[in-house]
Structure 1
């Protein structure tokens, strides 16, 4: 499989962005940052996390994908930038956060050091990533079906590719960056798809590991995978598909 694509904001929203918004609400509440503080969202994408931040004094979003930034909701000041080299001054923010981005940063340990650099003394530095290892049912069903038809696909699953889907690894990054009072939390949400098309069509958008894999398949193989998934997913009498998803969140304080 080629590189994972993150360029189309609309396709990302249909795939996992809509579920990230549900995680973000609990995540922001957990941080309990007072109003009128200076916020930075690194890897802000289409605005799932920034849209959950209420009553900020200032709000800045940084993402390396200009396509995502065009989809982000209005409100924050937006700029293109790399998480490992933030184009921002030292000690500029009271809260530095990141949602679902660290797994796709080449050097996440450098990114967390950058989070700490731009955070003011006493600021909260926090992030969340999907619990690929044990909490993403939509991914589990997809890769199980894909591997049944193509055994090589098993090695492409996110739980094998991304080590940051564990709370102990996240906490280690935060400690390594010199942050104090480090803690983690697992956030679980319900991901209810209205019907099979609502589940399947986002996998055709080319955004992320699984959709990028689907894009490599010839039409007959893609159709066979779709029909195999249709038979494996739990389906309610109304046609909806009730699944769950979970994310690991980590937080610490800048000294």
Structure 2
């Protein structure tokens, strides 16, 4: 049976459960906590600072992963809930939180059906997380629902034109077709798209494109091989090609060419990965 989509949510519960299990397995594969720790460690703090999170606030991090933004929010003095569809990612986050001496709650939860009451958080954030939930409108509706009036919304997402957006564009011809109703993740990096998702439910919108300098990789080949072994979406595409060595080799070449195109390093590889920093106030 094909799932139909009504008002941003799946009408077929069985198909929706299967899709979410597939997403959970994808993010649990590889080593996303290493990506968060080694490639993008500063982004969580950027989001926390931009959202103005501080002591006394109740904060929800949606699609929190291993706590890239949740732990910095707790270090800022907030009472934090980290929610993610893949609780396998929490172990690394718990270790990190213990190392820096903060406590926060870790909850398994679906960004498209958050298990929290209306208006129950002072701030709701997501750092390159909620963008990967397939139904953008459903996720935006949930973020707006659980944020109290006057509370803050803070989102950090890869842009379509930036490196990660272009990586997804490169992988798209090799990947299985997306499920009905799903939207491309990098659309969360388009200001007009995000404004449209929230509409008049938010005010005081600020949207800024920034770049993250990435110097972890010794070469374009190092980037490609790292993402093949660490990053769930890339791993999933390669697994779908397991019986097709020619297409696997073609994707190898295309990802290598992409990294070379964005490499602006002189000694070693350096890339600037563009993201959209979006903050707003719940109307």
Which deviates more, 24-33 or 224-233? 224-233
SS of 2:27's equivalent?
coil
Relative to structure 1, is the Cα distance of residues 38 and 200 closer, same or farther in structure 2, using a 3 angstrom cutoff? Answer: same
The answer to whether structure 1 residue 39 and structure 2 residue 63 are counterparts is: no
**1:17/1:245 Cα in 2 relative to 1: closer, same or farther (>3 Å)?**
farther
How far apart in 2 are the matches of 1:13 and 1:64? 14
* 1:166 matched to 2:187: no
Shift of 1:216: 3.1
Q: What residue is the counterpart of 1:251 in the other structure?
A: 279
**Structure 1 residues 15-164: aligned runs within 5 Å:** 15=35, 18-53=38-73, 54-72=75-93, 73-74=96-97, 75-131=103-159, 133-136=160-163, 140=166, 152-153=173-174, 161-162=184-185, 163-164=187-188
Deviations 1:220-242 (A, max 9, x none): 5446754675577248565x211
Aligned 8 A contact 1:18 1:48 in 2: no
Are positions 1:192 and 2:215 aligned together? yes
Q: 1:161 to 1:113 in 2, by over 3 A?
A: closer
Under a length normalisation based on structure 1, what TM-score does the superposition of the two structures give? Answer: 0.78
Which sits farther off after the overlay, 229-238 or 40-49?
A: 229-238
> What is the rounded CA distance, in whole Å, between the counterparts of 1:202 and 1:22 in structure 2?
19
Q: 2:229 aligned to 205, 210, 218, which one?
A: 205
1-side partners of 2:228 and 2:282: how far apart? Answer: 41
* Cα distance, 1:61 vs structure 2: 0.6
Q: 1:214 to 1:187 in 2, by over 3 A?
A: same
Equivalent pair of 1:142/1:229 in contact (CA under 8 Å): no
Q: Residue 204 of structure 1: CA displacement?
A: 2.4
Matches of 1:247 and 1:122, distance apart in 2? 25
Q: 1:123 offset after TM fit, Å? A: 0.8
- What root-mean-square deviation, in Å, do the aligned CA atoms of Structure 1 and Structure 2 show? 3.3
Structure 2 unmatched ranges of 5 or more: 1-18, 98-102, 178-182
1-side partners of 2:92 and 2:237: how far apart?
24
1:15 and 1:212, CA in 2 relative to 1: closer, same or farther beyond 3 A? farther
CA shift, 1:78, in A, is 0.4
SS at match of 1:39: strand
Q: Determine helix, strand or coil for the equivalent of 1:124.
A: strand
For residue 41 of structure 1, give the secondary structure of its aligned residue in structure 2: strand
Q: SS of 1:175's equivalent?
A: helix
2:151 aligned counterpart, secondary structure? strand
Gapped regions of structure 1 (runs ≥ 5) = none
Q: TM-score w.r.t. structure 2 length? A: 0.71
Provide the secondary structure at the position in 1 that maps to 2:196: helix
| Higher deviation after alignment, 221-230 or 64-73 | 221-230
Q: Distance in 1 between matches of 2:130 and 2:43?
A: 16
| Cα distance in 2 between the residues matched to 1:242 and 1:39 | 34
